Amino acid sequence: MIVSRKFKRIKITANTPIAKPSNGQVSNGKINNLLLIGNGSEDGKEGKRYLLKGLRGLLNHSMMALAKQKGIEVCHSSDKVETQSGEKLIGEGYHPNGACYPEKECIRHQLMGSIKKKSVLRFETVVIISEKNKNGSITAQKMHIATEIRNSLVQGSKKAIQDFGERYVAGRFTLKIELLEEISQEELGFLLQSILYIPELGFGGAVNNGAGKISLEEVALQEVERTRMIKKGKVFEEENERNLWKEMEEGMSTW
């Protein structure tokens, strides 16, 4: 029995010397910037597995910044105009997320969607394990993972009023973005240029303190054929990739 499917995706290989993924606060007032999603395989040899969050949001903000540079009005990441206290949330050159749909849909909304319309992009999760792990993994990527323990003491004492750790990562990782439907050359070009603009923004927190630098090593548009088969009760999966360089160039040329 064989099942197969063809689709297109963008494969991005990136590298960071140091980044602090912004995953928010966890219990007990401690901050952990990597989401623990498991302790590895059943035998425990794979080690702790973490989810590298924030990559979709990074591309989202890169699209906004690029559009502003080109003088194009697009959706803001927020669907609210102001806070409860009346503070303005959306600057010039943006409109509330999804407000353009369906009459005058902007190019960011065409790709990323909103609560009003499903995105045409599916981001594959980036799962990482420590580079110290000697066994490797089929489903996780190896990166350096470090924890900085921080605390603040009450003046004149050793009593801690804040005690938490912040996680940093470094190294190479691969992000895959599947195209759920055919997109126009203009949309493809805008998507590719937004990816190229990512290094101008920085990844995660503490960017102004030197963290978050990211470099792109390779960006490829691919046609992928994914096949699954059953042999003696076991499921085997393989992917055949074909790079679409000409289609990439045609998309980039629209801008």
- From first to last of the 255 residues of the chain, give the pLDDT tens digit: 799 999 999 999 999 999 998 654 444 445 557 888 887 655 566 678 899 999 999 999 999 999 999 999 999 999 988 877 778 889 899 999 999 999 999 999 999 999 999 999 999 999 999 998 877 777 899 999 998 876 666 666 666 666 667 889 999 999 999 999 999 999 999 999 999 999 999 998 888 888 899 999 999 999 999 999 999 999 999 999 999 999 999 999 998
Query: Residue 88: inside a domain, yes or no?
Result: no
- Collect all residues with Cβ–Cβ distance below 8 Å to 95 and sequence separation of at least 6: 73, 74, 75, 76, 106
Query: Residue 86: inside a domain, yes or no?
Result: no
Alpha-carbon dihedral 29, 30, 36, 41, rounded to 10 degrees = -110
Rounded-to-integer distance, Cα 80 and Cα 161, Å? 35
Measured in whole angstroms, the distance separating CA 130 from the mean position of its chain's CA atoms is: 19
The interaxial angle of helices 185-197 and 55-70, nearest 10 deg, is: 110
Query: Residue 156: inside a domain, yes or no?
Result: yes
Query: Residue 197: inside a domain, yes or no?
Result: yes
Residue 248 near residue 183, CB atoms below 8 Å: no
Residue 85 near residue 69, CB atoms below 8 Å: no
Query: Residue 85: inside a domain, yes or no?
Result: no
Which domain covers residue 115, as residue numbers?
A: 2-77+93-253
The whole-model pTM stands at 0.88
Query: Residue 219: inside a domain, yes or no?
Result: yes
Helix (H) and strand (E) counts in the chain: 4, 11
Query: Residue 84: inside a domain, yes or no?
Result: no
Domains contained in the chain, number = 1
Query: Residue 214: inside a domain, yes or no?
Result: yes
